[in-house]
A and B are shown apart, each in its own frame.
Chain A
Amino acid sequence: EPEVTQTPSHQVTQMGQEVILRCVPISNHLYFYWYRQILGQKVEFLVSFYNNEISEKSEIFDDQFSVERPDGSNFTLKIRSTKLEDSAMYFCASLLGNEQFFGPGTRLTVL
């Protein structure tokens, strides 16, 4: 069964450093999303991406965040200068029809 994959599974970084989280969505899906979940809290939407451009973003997705689909298969989330409060689980998701499949997540720890 096709699945969304994410790398790395866990990333530890120092405050102020740049991180890139990578996702490979399911190949025939058209919509891609990033969500995050701070430990013990609910899942929050960051950004959606369709037809090679951002279709919607939340207030969390400020200038420190960016997304790219560099090569037609990978979908990346970049955080330019990480803050302590960016520590969370980051989920990539892709959508076809009525099923939005999530990847296993990347746990980001900012020290």
Chain B
Amino acid sequence: AQKITQTQPGMFVQEKEAVTLDCTYDTSDQSYGLFWYKQPSSGEMIFLIYQGSYDEQNATEGRYSLNFQKARKSANLVISASQLGDSAMYFCAMRVDRGSTLGRLYFGRGTQLTVWP
């Protein structure tokens, strides 16, 4: 069975500081992808970053980077230089891919990030 665990219900960070949001996953499949989404209070789901299980380099997208540690089954999101607009719920998700079938996303429970001035 596939499972995503986010152990931090809430995190606080001061503006301009970096913050790490934790995510661990469990799967017996070898081919999978890890995603992070941002959900502001308005409710939409905004795609941030993707890491494939076979990617050797950690993914980066602007101020977002994914610290992928395959042996530990962790995929932490690092946000550098936090901004007030980063305050939102953050979800880690996993997709298992089998052959040519692209599977559904399994979501964690989310971490509410608050950035204070």
Contacts and interface: CB of A to CB of B under 8 A. Distances in A.
Interface residues of A, number: 26
B35 A89 contact: no
Interface string A13-56: 00000000000000000010101000001111100101000011
Given A91-B45, A102-B47, A105-B44, A42 B104 contact: no
Contact of B105 (A50, A100, A104, A107): A100
Interface string B87-112: 00001010100000111111111100
Contacts of B47: 99-102
B50 A98 contact: yes
A42 B107 contact: yes
Contact of A98 (B33, B44, B103, B109): B33
A95 interface: yes
Interface of A: 31, 33, 35, 41-45, 48, 50, 55-56, 58, 89, 91, 93, 95, 98-105, 107
3 closest Cβ pairs, A-B complex: A102-B45, A43-B107, A45-B104
